[in-house]
Structure 1
Amino acid sequence: MIFRNSLPTGVAQLGPRDAEFIYNESEGHLSHMVCAYFFDTAGHPLADMTHADAVGWISERFGYWPLFTSRVQRVPLDLDYPYWVPAPDFDVDDHVRVHKASGPGWAPVRALLGKSLSAPMDLTRPPWELEVMTGISGIDDLPGDLTLIMLKTHHSAGDGLEIRNLTNRLFSGPAKPKAPARESGLPLVEMMGRSVLGFPGQLIRFGKGLSATKVAAEEITQAEESGELAKYVADRPPTRFNHVLEGDLALEFVTLDGADIKAIRAAVPGVTVNDIFLTVVAGALEKYLEEKDERPERPLAAMVPRSMRQIAEWESANQLALLTVDLHSDVADPVEKLTRIRDSAQVAKERSSHLAVRKFSTRIETSPAPLLRLTGLARRLNKLNTDREVMQHTTISNVPVTIDGNVFDGAPAVAVLGGQAPVDGDVLRHFLIAAAGGALTLNVIVARGAMPDPEHYVVLLRESFDELRQAVECDVPAVE
């Protein structure tokens, strides 16, 4: 979120990277995230939380995030990027919902998460929703009598790391009410005046940006031709997961032992946790497609978001680069597949760090608002061509969320789930999240039209992990 000089108190203009999520919002391209924490509330008053309790709790923490009390105000004709403006009269009750689990097990939670992921957000009001479910029990090996607290936010307000930092403050810090202030907002006349007067500057920046990115594109081409940079093109046949969203959204998860993950990392030099989970997904996804008689003609590939916060300086609440990583799904041996994925992931990271690639990515920062708006409109009007070759088949993202230190009025967090809604062309998404005791949870979010049996896919993920663990053990030489 960028605060510009001379703007009224409480008013902020979105940067282009953040505004793009608003312009691209559509029925088949929802841009929100959910982060759902489970708290052990056995014997705790919060086990019977009411709507008034939830409203009071979140209202006392509005001081942790200015967007709790701000909404998007778009400029007429989208002549300039939208603004965050105060929404002092919004109804907190409309943002908070409290439910009682209808029975034991995963089904009530699954239904709540799927419904929330499927529902678009109303961007005429502050970009958040709070869902609470009490009386949860019988989920995996978690203790009974759980309470779920789920925060849903729009991507224009921040990426996964930004929301992770917010939830850590909400669940580890004391109450922090928002200080009362007379915030004036931005009158329509002033907004139009700023936009009209600033539009020539937008065009000048756009022209300079085109020149700079043209030079960067030439440098990238030279680096690709010389072999310095890997080249990525959309040349892979699509799968059922590259179609239009159909059916309800389902969320499933599998939690894998932290000790096994450490053992794999210790046995295979240079691999990361991400590499391991890319390998697990590669094995399970190819097996699933084989069972459907849809074995891909070429190896699968994944879109892997990478935080650029330590690499580049972007004035944006979203600071992600999207990597393409070959999953080497045609390699049978799990250990060899892991090492190849490790190398492919490193190549993709090196490309995203390359100066020319980073310069080229700044083209969005100089794009005029009307151009970004037209791009989003074109996305909605042009029907997805499901026969066109693709660059990636699924998303695999490491969401830096943890339960460590998080409590809800004294009740400890015992698990967390989360992720982002699938979109047209990318209807299967995986999100890696830290779990209790050093374990890691892989969340799967998918449209049932493409995967009517996500419960079976989770079984395949666990089998893929077990195969990798066993293969690593067999490859480790015995100590005499």
Structure 2
Amino acid sequence: MERMTATDAQTHWMSAKIPNDQFLLFGFVGVRAPLERVAADLERRASAIADLRLRVREVPVALDHPYWVSAPVGADQVRIHRGVSDWDGCLADLAGRMADQLDTTSRAWRVHLYDAVQAVPGADGATTVAVLQIAHALGDGSRATRIARELFDSRPITTPENASPVRSFDIGSTAMAGLGLARLPLQLVSLVRRGRRAHLAHRDLERDIATGELAEPRPGGPRAPINAAPGERRELRVVLTSARRLHDLGGSVTVGALVVIGQALASHLSPRPDTDLRAEVTIAKPGPARARNHFRNAGVDLHVDETDPTRRATAIRDDLDAARRRTDHHLTEAESAAMRSVPAALLAWGVRSFDTAVVPELVTGHTVVSSVHRGAADLTLGGGQVCLTAGFPALSPVQSLTHGVHGIGDTVAISITASPDVVTDLDGYRDRVVEALG
């Protein structure tokens, strides 16, 4: 058993309000084994991965955080989807399945397999597509990537450095609730102490901003047409490029992608009087991970009013670096420590009280950009070799267009997730991304 951290419990509970399953896509060329054998091999391999042998057990009336408990891998967790012949059909089928979110009290992940997919970008011939659908509470993008690499690696399983072992003992829900009640007095005392430390750390941050040691975060920007409730339908697109090309555009893959996305987004929303388009970018927290989700989001100005590409890239990089320096401030750890002391019932009440129908006038980002490098292009499946990877960040009540930037080897995919109810010309937007890549 493993008690969820406050951060992961909040992520788990929030999934009922805003679906947040992650979908990690991998394409493999040269797969020789029948898909049924591939599925059976994946089931056996998953059974040896600690993080894939877990499900959630809730504590009655949220008297404590939920627990991760041991769960055997089921045959229904690897699903074969036939009748999909080409890449566009594969993405359309996957988009339709995104509404079927995981019930983590039963299963925290599943794999979707598509065989002999034609016209996959960057692939020569038929491609087998495997998509790992995984609960966000089980891990952020970096941890989910490590899990996926274990699942699609031909080498023997090794336990990740920060993976929690699956212990064999278990206790009942009543005992879990009792433990939650027993720790409540100490939590309240700790919350007061850590809350004061967080307050003092916040004052330190304000002082560091006032003295110019840290840059002040930019205020949120007014909503754009894409900042509307997305509804339930999804559409997906993927544009392939190279890490080298993005480095040329921005000095790094992430900055290069932000340059491209900013240019495409400004063109797509034109004519528009405002030029303060922003992206909400995921940034890793400093220090060792105390939770499975070890990141925070920051707003980064896309500087679309800057006509010189070099100066635009520099301005975006400066904003991103400033956001990372603020994340590295000791306030981040102080806030995380205070969060760990919030009683579970109070945290659950806060999530239940969150009203997704309330639309703010200002948004941190007009779109989301999640950038994760998934390592060397040495993953295998059924004797085939990986040729691309992609990912599709979830939409939110105020963000109906999101982007994933995922690389394997030198190949990088800029993935686009959108609501067709809000973004009515996704092909046109994809073409603008291609044009911005040059």
Q: Structure 1 residues 150, 313: closer, same or farther in 2, change over 3 A?
A: same
Which protein has the larger Cα radius of gyration, Structure 1 or Structure 2?
Answer: 1
Given that residues 49 and 157 in structure 2 are in contact (C-alpha distance below 8 angstroms), is that contact kept between their aligned partners in structure 1? no
SS at match of 1:302: strand
- Measured after TM superposition, the shift of residue 112 of structure 1 is 2.4
Match of 1:397 in 2: 370
Match of 1:77 in 2: 61
Q: Structure 1 residues 198, 276: closer, same or farther in 2, change over 3 A?
A: same
State TM-score, norm by structure 2. Answer: 0.92
Match of 1:349 in 2: 324
Match of 1:365 in 2: 340
Q: What is the percentage of aligned positions where both structures have the same residue?
A: 22
Given that residues 102 and 108 in structure 2 are in contact (C-alpha distance below 8 angstroms), is that contact kept between their aligned partners in structure 1? yes
- Measured after TM superposition, the shift of residue 177 of structure 1 is 12
Given that residues 240 and 411 in structure 2 are in contact (C-alpha distance below 8 angstroms), is that contact kept between their aligned partners in structure 1? yes
| 1:219 counterpart letter in structure 2 | D
Give the counterpart of 1:192 among 142, 158, 177: 177
| 1:389 counterpart letter in structure 2 | L
1:140 aligns with 2:124: no
SS at match of 2:292: coil
| 1:40 counterpart letter in structure 2 | V
1:45 aligns with 2:33: yes
- Measured after TM superposition, the shift of residue 264 of structure 1 is 4.2
1:408 aligns with 2:393: no
Where in structure 2 are the equivalents of 1:60-209 lying within 5 Å?
60-88=44-72, 92-103=74-85, 105-174=86-155, 183-209=168-194
SS at match of 2:415: strand
Q: Structure 1 residues 384, 68: closer, same or farther in 2, change over 3 A?
A: same
| 1:289 counterpart letter in structure 2 | L
- Measured after TM superposition, the shift of residue 442 of structure 1 is 0.6
C-alpha distance after superposition, 1:433-479 (max 9, x if no partner): 1156x23211111111221221111110121222xxxxxxxxxxxxx
Match of 2:163 in 1: none
Match of 1:301 in 2: 278
Given that residues 241 and 426 in structure 1 are in contact (C-alpha distance below 8 angstroms), is that contact kept between their aligned partners in structure 2? yes
Whole-angstrom CA distance in 1 between matches of 2:395 and 2:23? 12
1:30 aligns with 2:19: yes
Q: Structure 1 residues 452, 264: closer, same or farther in 2, change over 3 A?
A: closer
Q: Structure 1 residues 316, 361: closer, same or farther in 2, change over 3 A?
A: closer
1:425 aligns with 2:398: yes
* Alignment size in residue pairs: 432
State TM-score, norm by structure 1. Answer: 0.84
| 2:33 counterpart letter in structure 1 | P
Match of 1:244 in 2: 229
Match of 1:287 in 2: 267
Match of 1:6 in 2: none
Whole-angstrom CA distance in 2 between matches of 1:254 and 1:282? 15
1:331 aligns with 2:343: no
Whole-angstrom CA distance in 1 between matches of 2:266 and 2:318? 20
Whole-angstrom CA distance in 1 between matches of 2:415 and 2:356? 30
- Measured after TM superposition, the shift of residue 233 of structure 1 is 5.6
| 1:342 counterpart letter in structure 2 | R
Match of 1:440 in 2: 412
- Measured after TM superposition, the shift of residue 131 of structure 1 is 0.7
Whole-angstrom CA distance in 1 between matches of 2:186 and 2:313? 49
Give the counterpart of 1:57 among 41, 45, 57: 41
SS at match of 1:367: coil
Give the counterpart of 2:357 among 360, 383, 397: 383
SS at match of 2:265: helix
Q: Structure 1 residues 230, 182: closer, same or farther in 2, change over 3 A?
A: closer
Match of 2:426 in 1: 454
Whole-angstrom CA distance in 1 between matches of 2:206 and 2:157? 51
Q: Structure 1 residues 77, 182: closer, same or farther in 2, change over 3 A?
A: closer
SS at match of 1:172: coil
| 2:16 counterpart letter in structure 1 | S
SS at match of 1:420: coil
Where in structure 2 are the equivalents of 1:269-280 lying within 5 Å?
271-280=251-260
Match of 2:162 in 1: none
Q: Structure 1 residues 257, 58: closer, same or farther in 2, change over 3 A?
A: closer
RMSD: 2.3
SS at match of 1:45: coil
Whole-angstrom CA distance in 2 between matches of 1:84 and 1:193? 17
Whole-angstrom CA distance in 2 between matches of 1:400 and 1:367? 33
SS at match of 1:331: coil
C-alpha distance after superposition, 1:328-359 (max 9, x if no partner): 11112222211111111111111111223442
Given that residues 370 and 393 in structure 2 are in contact (C-alpha distance below 8 angstroms), is that contact kept between their aligned partners in structure 1? no
- Measured after TM superposition, the shift of residue 373 of structure 1 is 0.8
Given that residues 60 and 175 in structure 1 are in contact (C-alpha distance below 8 angstroms), is that contact kept between their aligned partners in structure 2? no
SS at match of 1:240: coil
Q: Structure 1 residues 382, 320: closer, same or farther in 2, change over 3 A?
A: closer
C-alpha distance after superposition, 1:358-408 (max 9, x if no partner): 4234432222212221121111x452225x112221111112224611011
Whole-angstrom CA distance in 2 between matches of 1:371 and 1:315? 21
Given that residues 60 and 177 in structure 1 are in contact (C-alpha distance below 8 angstroms), is that contact kept between their aligned partners in structure 2? no
- Measured after TM superposition, the shift of residue 81 of structure 1 is 0.8
Whole-angstrom CA distance in 1 between matches of 2:15 and 2:389? 26
